[in-house]
């Protein structure tokens, strides 16, 4: 039986993970439904989003494996500073428009990974463990459902289950090597699954920045929300993982589902 304080933590995690609201927040800020903004994206740009997302995540994976175990890097920046740096990156992207995505997105993604890792450490994760580092990458798959998802694969635990085999294979591969080889099949499978969902959020971000007159200031604002969104996903994700370590996975999953079913 969960302690009342832990049950409240889990309730907050459910609210964040099952109702991410990133597209809705962007639509409210832009002042038009995001679906209309998506139409503004030129077809070549829209087609490049998946490639840009996968390249950004590849760099993030390399950085995660090589650097996240470094104690100096685990003395994390504050959440606010991460968001401010993300705003600076977004301002550059907003100023130069869609062509800057290939440059801006890897920078923003690495900043988000650093912020995600900081939250993981706060919740008791050991960044020397491969599993913890890959759990940081899992966050990029949360709150961005793929067009290939069916109705049973949209919830938090469903996404984790869909990634489980790829995460396990990647962890086994990395446990045998000191450095990541992003061309290894085990890592390519993981990156492909994560980037499919991450690309949805990237498309929404890019569509908002493509609205006329937004420019650099708008790009900075969109990136602030982008960073805030994934920090919220990370907080929920690593709270769930912490509670799983304390109470067991089965107990937390059952309680999570009960909270989802509450009116």
Residue 2 lies in a domain: no
Distance between CA 37 and CA 50 in Å, rounded?
A: 18
Please name the residue ranges forming H helices in 211-248.
215-247
Residue 50's region, left for phi above 0, alpha for psi from -120 to 50, else beta, is: alpha
Distance between CA 95 and CA 34 in Å, rounded?
A: 20
pLDDT of 44 higher than 70: no
Residue 131 lies in a domain: yes
Residue 117 lies in a domain: yes
Residue 135 lies in a domain: yes
Contact between residue 139 and residue 230 where contact means Cβ atoms under 8 Å apart: yes
pLDDT greater at residue 42 or residue 136: 136
Residue 164 lies in a domain: yes
What is the structure's pLDDT at 235? 94
pLDDT of 122 higher than 70: yes
Tokens representing residue 238 in the block: 């690593």
CA–CA distances in Å: residue 40 to residues 45, 64, 90, 195, 230: 10, 34, 19, 22, 25
At 20 the three-state DSSP class reads coil
Number of domains in the chain: 1
Name the nearest CA neighbour of 224 among 13, 22, 47, 12. Answer: 22
Q: Is 152 exposed, middle or buried (0-12, 13-18, 19+ CB in 10 A)?
A: exposed
Tokens representing residue 116 in the block: 């995600």
* pTM of the full structure: 0.82
Residue 4 lies in a domain: no
Name the nearest CA neighbour of 21 among 115, 184, 192, 143. Answer: 143
Contact between residue 243 and residue 2 where contact means Cβ atoms under 8 Å apart: yes
Which tens digit of pLDDT belongs to each residue from 149-180? 444 345 899 999 999 999 999 998 888 875 56
The count of other CB atoms within 10 Å of the CB of residue 104 is: 27
Q: How confident is the model at residue 82 (pLDDT cuts 50, 70, 90)?
A: low
Residue span of the structural domain in which 33 resides: 22-261
What is the Cα gyration radius of the chain? Answer: 18
Residue 224 lies in a domain: yes
Name the nearest CA neighbour of 117 among 74, 86, 84. Answer: 74
Residue 62 lies in a domain: yes
């Amino acid at each position: 039986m969960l302690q009342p304080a832990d049950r409240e933590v889990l309730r907050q995690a459910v609210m964040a993970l099952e109702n991410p609201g990133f597209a809705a927040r962007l639509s409210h800020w832009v002042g038009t439904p995001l679906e209309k903004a998506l139409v503004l994206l030129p077809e070549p740009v829209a087609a490049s989003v998946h490639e840009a997302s996968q390249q950004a995540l590849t760099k993030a994976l390399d950085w995660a494996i090589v650097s996240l175990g470094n104690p100096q890097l685990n003395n994390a920046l504050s959440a606010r500073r991460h968001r401010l740096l993300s705003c600076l990156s977004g301002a550059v992207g907003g100023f130069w428009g869609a062509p800057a995505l290939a440059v801006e997105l890897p920078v923003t993604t690495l900043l988000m990974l650093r912020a995600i890792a900081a939250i993981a450490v706060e919740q008791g994760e050991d960044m020397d463990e491969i599993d913890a580092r890959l759990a940081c990458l899992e966050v990029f798959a949360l709150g961005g459902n793929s067009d290939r998802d069916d109705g049973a694969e949209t919830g938090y635990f469903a996404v984790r289950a869909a990634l489980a085999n790829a995460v396990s294979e990647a962890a086994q591969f990395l446990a045998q090597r000191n450095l990541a080889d992003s061309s290894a099949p085990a890592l390519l499978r993981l990156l492909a699954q994560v980037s499919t969902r991450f690309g949805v959020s990237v498309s929404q971000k890019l569509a908002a920045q493509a609205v006329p007159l937004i420019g650099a200031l708008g790009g900075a604002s969109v990136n602030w929300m982008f960073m805030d969104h994934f920090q919220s996903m990370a907080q929920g994700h690593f709270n769930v993982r912490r509670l799983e370590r304390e109470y067991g996975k089965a107990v937390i999953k059952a309680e999570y589902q009960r909270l989802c079913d509450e009116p």
